[in-house]
A and B are shown apart, each in its own frame.
Chain A
Amino acid sequence: MFELLGITPQALYGQLLIGLINGSFYAVLSLGLAVIFGLLNIINFAHGAQYMMGAFIAWLGLTQVGPWIGDPEFHLNYWAALVIAPLLVGAFGMIIERTMLARLYRLDHLYGLLLTFGIALIIEGLFRYAYGVSGQQYELPEVFQGAFDLGFMHLPKYRAWVICASLTVCFATWYVIERTKLGSYLRAGTENPRLTQAFGVNVPLMITLTYGFGVALAAFAGVLAAPIFTVSPLMGADLIIVVFAVVVIGGMGSILGSIITGLGLGLIQGLTKVFYPEASAVVIFVIMVIVLLVRPAGLFGREK
């Protein structure tokens, strides 16, 4: 059947794998956006920039930090970056939330979008100034070199790890929010912040931590992406627009919905690359239009 269409199974599986990888990034990023939106009611336009920061921290840690501290032998390895980058970027996010976003909650939610857009421009501009627009290569850790032979295709080890790691993070987030006591506070805060505060929950603190967590997720995705894509100041900006479309398609009402939509759309994009490559850049946007015409609230959304 594949031969009839002039497509080898290898090409198909290869593109599906890339689709799954992209889908995992869409899932982690749209999950972060959804968590932030749930409690803060703002769309974090800086999400792409924070994802880029995560990737840059990993790259800087591996190649630049040693010379900075005068010890060329020192490298912040991949695993350390996977922990430190989300912590740093999360802390950075919490500072932004406390000093700027917190002043806007009484205003129209659109101001939050505009503010984070400005922050994204600043971050992206600073990194462009420091590192130019050409990408940096992040060397794959030794553990991940090579591939698994699955019989019908070769699965590079690192790609397998990216899919596993992002799915684990997604489901852990889902579990914490939907199944634990902490998550119940969060859901209560999303539903009715005033009443939750009246019950003695420190809602402003929860908001800060939630923003920090959502941002940390973006940075985590950035570190995962560093060895696959080139690390460049522009890597987040175009991705975030696609993630916005993913969020519109899924609707932000459900955590599991974001994960499924993200992965599904990644796969669809991969398939489009095989069968009609010209449309692969726009397929997600086209799906968004169709979903909006048929079901404006999104696949998993509810009108708010």
Chain B
Amino acid sequence: MSKTAIGFAVLVIAGVIAPMLGIYPTFLMKCWCLALFACAFNLLLGYTGLLSFGHAAFFGAAGYITGHAIKMWGCSFEIGILAGTAFAAVLGWAFGVVAIRRAGIYFAMITLALAQMIYFVWLQMPFTGGEDGLQGVPRGTLFGVIDLSDNMNLYYVVFAIFLCGFFLIYRTINSPFGQVLKAIRENEPRAISLGYDVDKYKLVAFVLSAALSGLAGATKTVVFQLASLTDAHWHTSGEVVLMTLLGGLGTVFGPVVSAFVIVGLQNQLADKVGSWVQVIMGLIFVVCVLAFRRGIVGELLAFARKTGIVKA
């Protein structure tokens, strides 16, 4: 059995038994949503080398579209989620077409500015409810059979959505397409000289990442029955960067681990220290960048290789 297969097995078992251990299912669902969001982001930053500072736009937009589709148009759960994801993909395509014209630092600034523009659009649009958000989104039923207002039912649906997204990302990374993405990350001029249309590859990766971020945001909206401006704010963009960085850039399981760490930390800290949460997030950022660039999973892998547990 390969180590990735073991990782997958552990992940599935942990996901299935976690709510039975008495951990609050809503907390777990939030973790899986953000883990999917971070994995989708990692596809871009970790495997393609593109730092987007505007991923909250997709996360938040899908939430609004899903919430509106289910609440106002009476769409079913599946259609609502698909609508949100599709919208995020289209938005991702629009962002990508503009932002891929520049690389590196400019790419980060452009995505941030575009996301801020979308944020203002949501702020002014009447259907989003402005500062209050889109409240009271009904959870509905899955395929008209499974009642999702039951937390445990919803939990397993959310976990299944996460697994699908996660597996898609894993397959993408290990496909010939993923190899080209890594080649672009390592040496873009060389990838161009080998005849790859680099911009096209970047755009496809960007749209895929945006769509999966949208899937995560849409699912989160159904879980909390709320689509809010917070999800579209640049703080959320920063948070997903932090999750990816803390977990380990370009590691498959890193973002999942750190999503649990960050969400857990926020949950624990919010009651005790209130506004210090932001300071602590900032400190984690600084420490990660200065001393811990491989991230949690990256460091563990490096340690395992050094001690010979895993072959290099």
Partners in one complex: yes
Q: Is B279 an interface residue (CB 8 A)?
A: yes
Name the CB-closest residue of B to A129: B275
Point out the residues of chain A lying under 8 angstroms from B108, CB to CB.
43, 110, 113
Point out the residues of chain A lying under 8 angstroms from B105, CB to CB.
37, 42-43, 109-110, 113
Q: Are A125 and B275 touching (Cβ within 8 A)?
A: yes
Q: Is A292 an interface residue (CB 8 A)?
A: yes
Q: Are A113 and B51 touching (Cβ within 8 A)?
A: yes
Q: Are A117 and B285 touching (Cβ within 8 A)?
A: yes
Contact check: which of B102, B277, B289 meets A248 at CB < 8 Å? B102
Point out the residues of chain B lying under 8 angstroms from A115, CB to CB.
285-286, 289-290
Q: Is B120 an interface residue (CB 8 A)?
A: yes
Point out the residues of chain A lying under 8 angstroms from B120, CB to CB.
281-282, 285
Q: Are A129 and B276 touching (Cβ within 8 A)?
A: yes
Q: Are A278 and B112 touching (Cβ within 8 A)?
A: no
Q: Are B285 and A278 touching (Cβ within 8 A)?
A: no
User: In whole angstroms, what is the CA distance A293 to B110 when docked?
Assistant: 12
Q: Is B127 an interface residue (CB 8 A)?
A: no
Q: Are B289 and A111 touching (Cβ within 8 A)?
A: yes
Q: Are B113 and A241 touching (Cβ within 8 A)?
A: yes
Q: Are A121 and B117 touching (Cβ within 8 A)?
A: no
Question: Interface code A261-297, partner B: CB below 8 Å = 1, 0 otherwise?
Answer: 0000000000000000010011001101100110010
A interface residues, how many (CB within 8 angstroms): 43
Point out the residues of chain B lying under 8 angstroms from A37, CB to CB.
105
Question: Which residues in window 91-109 of B have CB below 8 A to A?
Answer: 98-99, 101-102, 104-106, 108-109
Most buried by B among A237, A286, A289: A289
Q: Is A60 an interface residue (CB 8 A)?
A: no
Q: Is A169 an interface residue (CB 8 A)?
A: no
Point out the residues of chain B lying under 8 angstroms from A241, CB to CB.
112-113, 116, 234
Q: Are B286 and A122 touching (Cβ within 8 A)?
A: yes
User: In whole angstroms, what is the CA distance A115 to B253 when docked?
Assistant: 23
CB proximity of A129 to chain B, nearest CB, Å: 5
Q: Are B112 and A285 touching (Cβ within 8 A)?
A: no
Q: Are A118 and B110 touching (Cβ within 8 A)?
A: no
Name the CB-closest residue of A to B105: A43
Q: Are A244 and B113 touching (Cβ within 8 A)?
A: yes
Q: Is A119 an interface residue (CB 8 A)?
A: yes
Question: Interface code B245-259, partner A: CB below 8 Å = 1, 0 otherwise?
Answer: 100000000000000
Q: Is B282 an interface residue (CB 8 A)?
A: yes
Q: Is A177 an interface residue (CB 8 A)?
A: no
User: In whole angstroms, what is the CA distance A247 to B106 when docked?
Assistant: 9
Q: Is A128 an interface residue (CB 8 A)?
A: yes
Name the CB-closest residue of A to B114: A285
Most buried by A among B105, B120, B275: B105
Name the CB-closest residue of B to A280: B120
Q: Are B282 and A118 touching (Cβ within 8 A)?
A: yes
Q: Are A244 and B278 touching (Cβ within 8 A)?
A: no
Q: Are A103 and B278 touching (Cβ within 8 A)?
A: no
Contact check: which of B98, B117, B281, B293 meets A111 at CB < 8 Å? B293
List 10 additional A-B contacts (Cβ < 8 Å) besides A115-B285, A286-B117: A100-B286, A103-B290, A104-B290, A118-B284, A122-B286, A125-B277, A125-B278, A241-B112, A288-B114, A292-B98
Kindly list the 6 A-B residue pairs having the minimum CB-CB distance in the complex, ordered from nearest: A118-B285, A121-B282, A125-B278, A122-B282, A285-B117, A125-B279
A-B contacts, 17 of them at CB < 8 A, read: A100-B286, A110-B105, A113-B105, A118-B282, A118-B285, A119-B286, A121-B281, A122-B286, A128-B278, A129-B276, A241-B112, A245-B109, A248-B106, A278-B124, A285-B114, A292-B98, A293-B98
Binding site for B on A (CB under 8 A): 37, 42-43, 100, 103-104, 107, 109-111, 113-115, 117-126, 128-129, 237-238, 241-242, 244-245, 247-248, 278, 281-282, 285-286, 288-289, 292-293, 296
